[in-house]
Chain A
Amino acid sequence: MRHYLDFEKPIVELQRKLDELSQHSQVHSMALNLDEEIASIEQKLAETRREIFANLTPWQRVQLARHPKRPYTLDYLQTAFTDFHEIHGDRLYADDRAMVGGFARLEGEPVMVIGTQKGRDTKENILRNFGSAHPEGYRKALRLMRLADKFHLPLITLIDTAGAYPGVGAEERHIAEAIAVNLREMMLFSVPIIAVVLGEGGSGGALGIGVADRVLILENAYYSVISPEGCAAILWKDRSAAPQAAAALRITAKDLAELKLVDDVVSEPLGGAHNDLPTMAETLKVYLLRHLQEVQAFSPTDRLHRRYERFRHIGHFTEKPASPPVEPA
């Protein structure tokens, strides 16, 4: 059973018509003029789909980023990568299943991949805590990053989380500290780091594995300081103002590229990543290889310097002189 979003309704209707006609033509195999009709509807379907997806609002993109069929970290590990084997645990407390990681090969080259992981159904979502990691997840990520750095393996982090988990246990074990330490440590690993926002780039929970030489984002993913609903609740006093908040916060891939907050936007197949995983995975691989090659060309010292500067220059402000210069008489 396919899952459709509200704005996909025209596509769904055309698709249903098409399916009906196809069944008809199979039953009455001699119906010649049905072929023409089918072709015309197929064309219209393609046009409608193109048009809808070329003009998505920020909120519609948020819905796509959260689409229940959207490919997650482990889906890419089975498609864009080979030879993946998961390794577990933070050596301190637990194995957080909302954060996965392990060795893998990208076009034959060994790398370390770390990513947040959502569940596909209720049972898996309970296991994965809906993709929201506890401190253990961030500390497991740090352990694997240290491992990668020690053994000279490039690091790839895949981000798809609504945010770090707001819970009693998470606070008792200092989730804020776990994220903060990652921000500091990721700045000094000498191996190349590429981060990709696959779906939801939920605030500090995303940034906690998001410090990198290059930060990429999928075309329909978003990356935000606060969820549109959270922002709407605080500023509009109404969670249903989330679409307005999504626009005001400028959280889409296109916005973030314009604001120079991300380094590249990874194009998705028409209709979104979930519509064609093999194509999506292949595209992601191409982008990863290109960026990895570019940052691998720098010496470790140069790479660290550039990584620092990449984040150092983010921010907009003005500085008026303390006392205005006196006009010469």
Chain B
Amino acid sequence: MANPKKNKKVTGGESTEPAVTPPGPGSDTSFVKKPKLGPGQPRKRDIPEGLWTKCPKCGTMIYDKELDDNLKVCPKCAHHFPIGARERINALVETCSFEEMDAEMVSVDVLKFTGVAAYTDKLQEYTQTTGLKDALVTGIGRIGSHRLALGVMDFNFLGGSMGSVVGEKLTRLIEAATDKGLPLVIISSSGGARMYEGLFSLMQMAKTSAALAYHARNRLPYISVLTHPTTAGVMASYASLGDLILAEPGAMIGFAGPRVIKDTTQAELPPGFQTAEFLQAHGLIDDIVPRDELKGRLDYFIGFLMHGQHRLAASA
């Protein structure tokens, strides 16, 4: 069955409107536009147009249904396509275990930001194209036997940028985890702070990190999962603060964008610069985890990290 929504994919390149420092052109490599099937090209009769996606890494044409079933990972070369927040949550938590928090929270245009495009227009546009209210979904769910607080970002909504809504929802999630004694997992995908909200968005970095300070003080574990791309203000706050920092293969991760770095330093960038693999070699990433192994790996890590908490609870 053709899902009309699937045909209107938001590609990553033009929706990257980050702040702090914008990622450069290297960040959009894994977003692919639907191949145009021109009149001269042969096409199968029983398959409607636009249900195939070309892998940007190996060039294979993948049937969309197959790509979805494979958690948006290329079955041929294991390239990780971007995946929406809700799809990811469905793939991670036990069935029916996820209770979403603050689902109705929406951004307001506090600065009355008008540039070439008004912020309110942008919000409306992305709400319509993504079906999301902002760039983050949060809630309490279960992975294996572990109840946990889970926050998942969605790059499709304004480049996953962090404004007041992302900051507030995350802070409430972290506070809930602290109050309930739960482990925390945040899966990031973001171009950074949302410049339409000016300094309010920068301050969300301090706000979320503050909540993490108290979560950590209670010896509760936080696992940060970095997915393509995680940069700038998000990377310079909660995404870097995990007790464990995991990453998806090939994810672009950094503070400044490669173009900014090149323009500033006039230096050649080393091969593989700012990829998950590069950062693991440079000591930042604890483990690179393919998407289909993430659930099991989280279950494994949380088991170790919550062991002491459970023993304390049992002896109390």
* A281 → B minimal CB distance (Å): 26
Asked if B236 and A180 make an inter-chain contact with CB atoms under 8 angstroms apart, the answer reads: yes
Indicate whether A5 reaches chain B with its CB closer than 8 angstroms.
Answer: no
The interface bits of chain A over 139-183 (1 if a CB of B lies within 8 angstroms of the residue's CB, else 0) are 000000000000000000000000111111011111111011101
Indicate whether A106 reaches chain B with its CB closer than 8 angstroms.
Answer: no
Asked if B111 and A176 make an inter-chain contact with CB atoms under 8 angstroms apart, the answer reads: no
List of B residues within 8 angstroms of A207 by Cβ:
202-203, 205-206
* A288 vs B236: C-alpha distance when bound (angstroms): 28
* B309 → A minimal CB distance (Å): 20
**Which B residues, 262 to 288, have Cβ-Cβ distances below 8 Å to chain A?**
264-265, 267, 269-270, 273-274, 279, 282-284
* B157 → A minimal CB distance (Å): 14
The interface bits of chain B over 225-241 (1 if a CB of A lies within 8 angstroms of the residue's CB, else 0) are 00000001101111111
The interface bits of chain B over 104-135 (1 if a CB of A lies within 8 angstroms of the residue's CB, else 0) are 11111011011111000000000000000000
Indicate whether B171 reaches chain A with its CB closer than 8 angstroms.
Answer: yes
List of B residues within 8 angstroms of A259 by Cβ:
110, 199-200
Asked if B282 and A318 make an inter-chain contact with CB atoms under 8 angstroms apart, the answer reads: no
Asked if B115 and A236 make an inter-chain contact with CB atoms under 8 angstroms apart, the answer reads: yes
**Which A residues, 251 to 308, have Cβ-Cβ distances below 8 Å to chain B?**
251, 256, 259, 261, 308
* A34 → B minimal CB distance (Å): 51
Pick the contact of B19 from A184, A203, A261, A321 — CB < 8 Å?
Answer: A203
Indicate whether A234 reaches chain B with its CB closer than 8 angstroms.
Answer: yes
List of A residues within 8 angstroms of B22 by Cβ:
230, 233-234
* A292 → B minimal CB distance (Å): 20
**Which A residues, 203 to 217, have Cβ-Cβ distances below 8 Å to chain B?**
203-204, 207-208, 210-211
**Which A residues, 185 to 205, have Cβ-Cβ distances below 8 Å to chain B?**
185, 187-188, 203-204
Indicate whether B164 reaches chain A with its CB closer than 8 angstroms.
Answer: yes
Asked if A171 and B105 make an inter-chain contact with CB atoms under 8 angstroms apart, the answer reads: no
List of A residues within 8 angstroms of B237 by Cβ:
179-180, 183
Nearest B residue to A183 via CB reads B209
* A231 vs B115: C-alpha distance when bound (angstroms): 10
Asked if B210 and A187 make an inter-chain contact with CB atoms under 8 angstroms apart, the answer reads: yes
Indicate whether A315 reaches chain B with its CB closer than 8 angstroms.
Answer: yes
* A218 vs B77: C-alpha distance when bound (angstroms): 55
Residue among B105, B203, B232, B233 with max Cβ neighbours from chain A (10 Å): B203
The interface bits of chain B over 248-264 (1 if a CB of A lies within 8 angstroms of the residue's CB, else 0) are 00000011110011001
Asked if A166 and B241 make an inter-chain contact with CB atoms under 8 angstroms apart, the answer reads: no
Nearest A residue to B109 via CB reads A316
* B18 → A minimal CB distance (Å): 8
* A210 vs B217: C-alpha distance when bound (angstroms): 21
Q: A230-B21, A231-B195, A319-B102 are in contact. Are A261 and B233 (CB under 8 A)?
A: no
Q: A176-B254, A207-B206, A226-B19 are in contact. Are A249 and B200 (CB under 8 A)?
A: no
Indicate whether A74 reaches chain B with its CB closer than 8 angstroms.
Answer: no
Nearest B residue to A312 via CB reads B207
* A204 → B minimal CB distance (Å): 4
The interface bits of chain A over 228-254 (1 if a CB of B lies within 8 angstroms of the residue's CB, else 0) are 001101111100010011001111000
Asked if A183 and B205 make an inter-chain contact with CB atoms under 8 angstroms apart, the answer reads: yes
List of A residues within 8 angstroms of B235 by Cβ:
176, 180
Residue among A179, A230, A235, A317 with max Cβ neighbours from chain B (10 Å): A317
Indicate whether B165 reaches chain A with its CB closer than 8 angstroms.
Answer: yes
Indicate whether A7 reaches chain B with its CB closer than 8 angstroms.
Answer: no
Indicate whether A322 reaches chain B with its CB closer than 8 angstroms.
Answer: yes
Indicate whether B216 reaches chain A with its CB closer than 8 angstroms.
Answer: yes
Indicate whether A4 reaches chain B with its CB closer than 8 angstroms.
Answer: no
Q: A315-B164, A318-B108 are in contact. Are A168 and B273 (CB under 8 A)?
A: yes
Asked if B207 and A311 make an inter-chain contact with CB atoms under 8 angstroms apart, the answer reads: yes
* A314 vs B211: C-alpha distance when bound (angstroms): 13
* A315 vs B145: C-alpha distance when bound (angstroms): 35
Asked if B203 and A314 make an inter-chain contact with CB atoms under 8 angstroms apart, the answer reads: yes
Pick the contact of A314 from B117, B200, B233, B269 — CB < 8 Å?
Answer: B200
Indicate whether B64 reaches chain A with its CB closer than 8 angstroms.
Answer: no
* A120 vs B195: C-alpha distance when bound (angstroms): 31
Asked if A184 and B212 make an inter-chain contact with CB atoms under 8 angstroms apart, the answer reads: yes
Asked if B193 and A225 make an inter-chain contact with CB atoms under 8 angstroms apart, the answer reads: yes
Nearest A residue to B279 via CB reads A174
* A111 vs B233: C-alpha distance when bound (angstroms): 30
Q: A174-B240, A261-B200 are in contact. Are A183 and B210 (CB under 8 A)?
A: yes
Asked if B167 and A315 make an inter-chain contact with CB atoms under 8 angstroms apart, the answer reads: yes
Asked if B200 and A184 make an inter-chain contact with CB atoms under 8 angstroms apart, the answer reads: no
* A203 vs B212: C-alpha distance when bound (angstroms): 20
Indicate whether B168 reaches chain A with its CB closer than 8 angstroms.
Answer: yes
Asked if B115 and A235 make an inter-chain contact with CB atoms under 8 angstroms apart, the answer reads: yes
List of B residues within 8 angstroms of A177 by Cβ:
236, 240, 284
Asked if B261 and A166 make an inter-chain contact with CB atoms under 8 angstroms apart, the answer reads: yes
Indicate whether A81 reaches chain B with its CB closer than 8 angstroms.
Answer: no
* A323 vs B125: C-alpha distance when bound (angstroms): 23
New A-B contacts (4) at CB < 8 Å, excluding given A203-B21, A315-B168: A180-B209, A207-B205, A225-B201, A317-B168
Q: 8 smallest A-B Cβ distances: which pairs?
A: A166-B256, A315-B164, A183-B209, A180-B240, A176-B255, A226-B19, A316-B110, A176-B235
A-B contact pairs, 24 of them (CB 8 A): A166-B21, A167-B267, A168-B269, A171-B254, A176-B254, A180-B209, A180-B240, A183-B210, A184-B209, A187-B210, A187-B213, A188-B217, A204-B255, A225-B19, A231-B19, A234-B22, A235-B17, A236-B115, A244-B115, A249-B198, A259-B199, A312-B207, A315-B168, A318-B106
